């Protein structure tokens, strides 16, 4: 299937590892020019060099997405470097654990407000696109309770879901789409579940058993949905929460 992404200009936050990196690579493979950001300057530099090997234009900058001015500055610099913005993928997450005020504050600033701030900065550019799209990476934790230790993370992912649904309805008359991709458990070296595997092997094994497919997702499998949602091939998909969890969740998705 031709996703009609060739030549599009895409921005991805938190894109030096895991799901964000897989999304950036997926967009590049479809012919997009891509801008990335993450907190670690060395990681950004290394990944820009690696991603540039494919011949597409790649721009990167170290950004703490909690810093609104820095985040907006990256969006504007990316638009200049790439020659516009067609796609924004808000992927960065604080992966806040626990239910402390600090955990809620981190989830609010990173998971929710970085999406809000990046979207508001990108919208003037997306209005000039013929295929403007926003994709936010949420989580199944935003729609099902996975325990008190996930309270902050889940609560702010739920808030993100509401925001993106509302955003989709607001942007639709402008020809801009907005969707969510909600991953289930996703495994990659250096990621959360890799850490659990190393430190709590019994918990890791039990989590694997809970999934009807008998495994966790790869970042590439989540990225495939995000790339599709960002593409003109999904031209009538907006306001959707696209769950990619191997049927781990038990509820009827709506």
Q: Is residue 245 part of a domain?
A: no
Is 36 in contact with 16 (CB distance < 8 Å)?
yes
Q: Is the pLDDT of residue 150 over 90?
A: no
Q: Is residue 205 part of a domain?
A: no
Q: Which residue from 14, 12, 142, 5 is spatially nearest to 89, judged by alpha carbons?
A: 12
Residue range 16-51, pLDDT digits in tens: 999 999 999 999 999 999 999 999 999 999 999 999
Q: Is residue 4 part of a domain?
A: no
Q: Is residue 51 part of a domain?
A: yes
Q: Is the pLDDT of residue 58 over 90?
A: yes
Mean pLDDT on 77-85: 98
- CATH number of the domain encompassing residue 34: 3.40.50.720
Q: Is the pLDDT of residue 152 over 70?
A: yes
Q: Is 153 a catalytic residue?
A: yes
Q: Count Cα neighbours of 81 within 13 Å in the Cβ-side half-sphere.
A: 18
Residue-level pLDDT at 72? 98
Q: What domain count does the chain have?
A: 1
Residue range 204-241, pLDDT digits in tens: 999 999 999 999 999 999 999 999 999 999 999 999 99
Residue-level pLDDT at 125? 98
Distance CA 245, CA 186 (A): 9
Q: Is residue 203 part of a domain?
A: no
Q: Is residue 204 part of a domain?
A: no
Q: Is the pLDDT of residue 254 over 70?
A: no
Q: Is residue 122 part of a domain?
A: yes
Mean pLDDT on 116-128: 98
pLDDT above 90 covers a percentage of the chain that reads 90
Q: Which of 148, 153, 163, 187 is catalytic?
A: 153
Q: Which residue from 37, 82, 79 is spatially nearest to 56, judged by alpha carbons?
A: 82
Is 122 in contact with 85 (CB distance < 8 Å)?
yes
Q: Is the pLDDT of residue 128 over 80?
A: yes
Torsion angle defined by CA atoms of residues 44, 120, 138 and 169, in that order, rounded to the nearest 10 degrees: -150
- Which structural domain range is residue 130 located in? 9-186+218-239
Residue-level pLDDT at 30? 97
Q: Is residue 98 part of a domain?
A: yes
Mean pLDDT on 88-117: 95
């Amino acid at each position: 299937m031709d996703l009609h992404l060739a030549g599009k200009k895409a921005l991805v936050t938190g894109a030096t590892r895991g799901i964000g990196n897989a999304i950036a690579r997926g967009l590049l493979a479809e012919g997009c020019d891509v801008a990335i950001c993450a907190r670690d300057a060395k990681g950004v530099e290394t990944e820009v060099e690696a991603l540039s090997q494919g011949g597409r234009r790649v721009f990167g900058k170290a950004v703490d997405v909690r810093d609104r001015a820095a985040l907006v500055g990256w969006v504007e610099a990316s638009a200049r470097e790439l020659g516009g913005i067609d796609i924004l993928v808000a992927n960065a997450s604080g992966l806040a654990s626990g239910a402390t005020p600090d955990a809620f504050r981190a989830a609010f600033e990173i998971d929710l407000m970085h999406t809000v701030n990046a979207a508001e900065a990108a919208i003037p550019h997306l209005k000039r696109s013929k295929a403007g799209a926003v994709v936010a990476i949420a989580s199944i934790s935003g729609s099902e309770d996975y325990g008190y230790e996930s309270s902050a993370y889940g609560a702010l992912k739920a808030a993100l879901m509401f925001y993106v649904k509302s955003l989709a309805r607001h942007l639709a008359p402008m020809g801009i789409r907005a969707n969510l991709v909600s991953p289930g458990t996703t495994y990659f070296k250096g990621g959360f579940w890799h850490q659990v595997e190393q430190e709590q092997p019994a918990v890791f094994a039990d989590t694997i058993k809970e999934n009807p497919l008998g495994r966790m997702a790869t970042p590439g499998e989540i990225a495939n949905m995000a790339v599709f949602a960002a593409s003109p091939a999904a031209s009538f998909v907006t306001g959707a929460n696209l769950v990619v969890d191997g049927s781990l969740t038990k509820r009827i998705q709506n």
